[in-house]
Structure 1
Amino acid sequence: MVDSKLLQRNSSMELLRIVSMLFIMGLHFLMVFDFPRYEDSIKAPLNTFVYFLLESLTIIAVNVFVMLSGWFGIKPKKKSFCSLCFEVAFYGIMLFIIEVFLHNGQNITIKGIKHLLLGGPDDFWFVKAYILLYCLTPVLNTFVQNTSRDTFKKVLVAFFVFQSIYGWFLLATRWFAGGYSTISFIGLYLLARYMSIYKPKFVQFRLSVDVLIFICLILLSTFWSFVFCRHNIFLYDLAFVYTSPMVILSAAYLIIIFSKISFRSRFINWVAMSAFAVYLFHYNPLIYNYYCDLAIWCDNRGTIKVLFFPMAIVLVFVFVVLIDQARKYLWKKISIRLF
């Protein structure tokens, strides 16, 4: 029964889920190192350019993850919501217990409990923003189902014009938080729903054209940041904000590309089921410290570090997929009793 369900999914989109998580892991690798400044662009222009290129490619992954939910549409159900919460709790509790054990119980404090409950402002911001998006999807889906295409388009245009001005270029609103917020997720969700349902003209190009547009958008972000950095203009870091139109369009075209490649693979679908677990595991503060050490170790390998980065990311990904089978098995047993 499980195998048949796995085979029914379009594996190209599940592969995109895997690729997006690998990009997120790559982005977190890059975060370990100092963001290039004007002096870096003068002393080491090639390294600076490559950094910006990798940043342009990986920064889109969070938006892709949210837009995948919009592309298919979240169908809020008690079981799926509980499954999401269980997955978050499983890794939070497991790693908290490990941390307590390693420190002989010294971390059993109010601060530690608060962190376990995601009580800090920086504790898994994505999880909290996504859970609220999930709670709001009945309203969003009702809007999508009961509004005209023209009204839908006008709402999207108004939203992204406003966000681009005040939530990106001017960064004049705290509640957009540069894309680290549910309100930005709502815009991404609705944009992906519109693309999936109505297939506007920019979705209907040939695959080769989509790939070319995607490459151009990535290069646009890269050259934007590099040229402005090279001339010491403060605008260069705007290319790497989740609310950037370049980042959003790049994410949209990556989804469009994968949506036009259709195949079925039970293995790909099986691995994709653990993609979110990879985020919950490697970005947990206990693990992320070691993840940062791994990034520094890779960086110290000299000229062959270009090979160590992807190898390290893939190895961590595979490790989490394997241990996630315990979480899936436990949830299966629990869900049978509850639902």
Structure 2
Amino acid sequence: MGGGTGRKSNFELLRIASMFLVVLTHYVPTRDGVSADTFLQSTAATLCTLELHSLSIVCTHCFVLISGYFGIRLSWKSFANLLYQMLFWSGASVLTAAAIGLPVSVGLFLKGIVWGWFPWAYIILMILSPMINAFIEKCGMHGLGRYIIVFYLLSTIGGYLMGCRDFFSGMSGLSLVGLYLIGAYLRRCEFKPFQHTSKVNFAIYLILGLALLVVNVLLLLTGINSSPYGYLNPVVIVMAIYLFLTFTRMDIGSRSLINGVAASAFSVYLFHCHPAIGGWISQGWTRINEACGPYLAIPVAVVSFIAIFAFCCAVDRLRIYSFKIISNKVFNNGKG
């Protein structure tokens, strides 16, 4: 999940932006809840919350689109690196919690290793990747495009509309497979709607996000509290595609600072979601909302996001350095 040294920095910048949106999507629930009553009582604040949700809902999609675009090359070293990252950050999170006076235990450490749906869904994707890659190469672009259409008809009807357990609301290895296939398709396709400039792609992403907001408002006005912000919503998936394409059309060369931060982006997820520290972070965001109000709280919360990033990037240097030493010994001087 770290940043690849051979990739251009535009993709690494997308990795950073995607993780920033992950943190944002976890911040949104700490604001006042969205309902018909809150919309009527605090219309502007509710619209602000909905827009934050619109911007952030594509977060994990973009991570997997990057993987599909470049293709996962499964090896024992890459697999061990991901597992070591999960182990390291469970320990680092518990130690951080203990340092600030939070209750910790061996149980919390163990729970933190298996906590969260995304790491384990991604592990499933990694294990399946050799078969998926072989399928992509065999079926060709037109065949892959047709297969993606069939896959997302099933995903939309069975997963999004009917709640099929196998899709688990988009939080499953199966759903990541679909995004991986899209990423592979985007690398090769010449489909005209996907050939816009970076600015046009970003505008489409924002317009579709605004459309989700409008749909949610209409639902609220009719007394329906159901949200359209599901991971399997096809509009959300198209939004993720256009945000992804926004960055693919950029040309910023190779920037060591961006690549270095991107290499530690996944650590931000593992840290701020950890059961030993995640609740404390969420409580901090709630206090920020209460103290600053619905509007000023946003820039203050963003400062906290940056602080989390800075902390994780600094600590993750130790993880990267220690794994390099271990991998050089275990995987034949890093070639395994």
- TM-score, shorter chain, exceeding 0.5: yes
Letter matched to residue 15 of structure 1: L
Of the three residues 7, 11, 14, the one matched with 1:13 is 11
Report SS of the residue matched to 1:285. coil
Aligned counterparts, 1:254-333, within 5 A: 254-263=243-252, 264-299=254-289, 300-302=291-293, 304-333=296-325
Partner of 2:233: 244
Partner of 2:111: 115
Partner of 2:57: 59
Q: In 2, are the aligned partners of 1:23 and 1:61 still within 8 Å (CA)?
A: yes
Partner of 2:218: 227
Of the three residues 145, 159, 173, the one matched with 1:167 is 159
Instruction: Determine the C-alpha separation between the residues in 1 that align with 2:96 and 2:258.
Output: 30
Unaligned 5+ segments in structure 1 are none
Change beyond 3 A, Cα 1:97–1:209: closer
In the TM superposition, residue 116 of structure 1 has moved relative to its aligned partner by 4.4
Q: After alignment, is 24-33 or 135-144 more displaced? A: 24-33
Change beyond 3 A, Cα 1:167–1:35: farther
Of the three residues 19, 28, 35, the one matched with 1:30 is 28
The superposition leaves residues 205-224 of structure 1 with CA deviations (integer Å, 9 ceiling, x where unpaired) of 23333222112111111111
Instruction: Determine the C-alpha separation between the residues in 1 that align with 2:325 and 2:60.
Output: 31
Aligned counterparts, 1:128-139, within 5 A: 128-139=120-131
Instruction: Determine the C-alpha separation between the residues in 2 that align with 1:124 and 1:161.
Output: 27
Change beyond 3 A, Cα 1:97–1:268: closer
In the TM superposition, residue 101 of structure 1 has moved relative to its aligned partner by 8.5
Task: Using structure 2 for the length normalisation, give the TM-score.
Answer: 0.91
* Alignment coverage as a number of residue pairs: 325
Unaligned 5+ segments in structure 2 are 332-336
Instruction: Determine the C-alpha separation between the residues in 1 that align with 2:280 and 2:68.
Output: 33
Letter matched to residue 252 of structure 1: I
Instruction: Determine the C-alpha separation between the residues in 2 that align with 1:132 and 1:35.
Output: 33
Q: In 1, are the aligned partners of 2:15 and 2:262 still within 8 Å (CA)?
A: yes
Instruction: Determine the C-alpha separation between the residues in 1 that align with 2:177 and 2:129.
Output: 9
Partner of 2:179: 188
In the TM superposition, residue 103 of structure 1 has moved relative to its aligned partner by 8.5
Instruction: Determine the C-alpha separation between the residues in 1 that align with 2:112 and 2:8.
Output: 35
In the TM superposition, residue 107 of structure 1 has moved relative to its aligned partner by 3.0
Change beyond 3 A, Cα 1:9–1:150: closer
Q: In 2, are the aligned partners of 1:48 and 1:226 still within 8 Å (CA)?
A: no
Letter matched to residue 134 of structure 1: M
Q: In 2, are the aligned partners of 1:29 and 1:292 still within 8 Å (CA)?
A: yes
Q: In 2, are the aligned partners of 1:70 and 1:188 still within 8 Å (CA)?
A: yes
The superposition leaves residues 279-324 of structure 1 with CA deviations (integer Å, 9 ceiling, x where unpaired) of 1111101111121122012112235323201111111111111111
Q: After alignment, is 201-210 or 155-164 more displaced? A: 201-210
Aligned counterparts, 1:89-100, within 5 A: 89-96=87-94
Task: Work out whether 1:176 is the aligned partner of 2:180.
Answer: no
Change beyond 3 A, Cα 1:266–1:103: closer
Partner of 2:334: none
In the TM superposition, residue 182 of structure 1 has moved relative to its aligned partner by 0.5
RMSD: 2.1
Task: Using structure 1 for the length normalisation, give the TM-score.
Answer: 0.90
Change beyond 3 A, Cα 1:183–1:106: closer
Q: In 2, are the aligned partners of 1:99 and 1:107 still within 8 Å (CA)?
A: no
Instruction: Determine the C-alpha separation between the residues in 2 that align with 1:209 and 1:117.
Output: 41
Partner of 1:204: 195
Change beyond 3 A, Cα 1:287–1:153: same
Q: In 2, are the aligned partners of 1:22 and 1:313 still within 8 Å (CA)?
A: yes
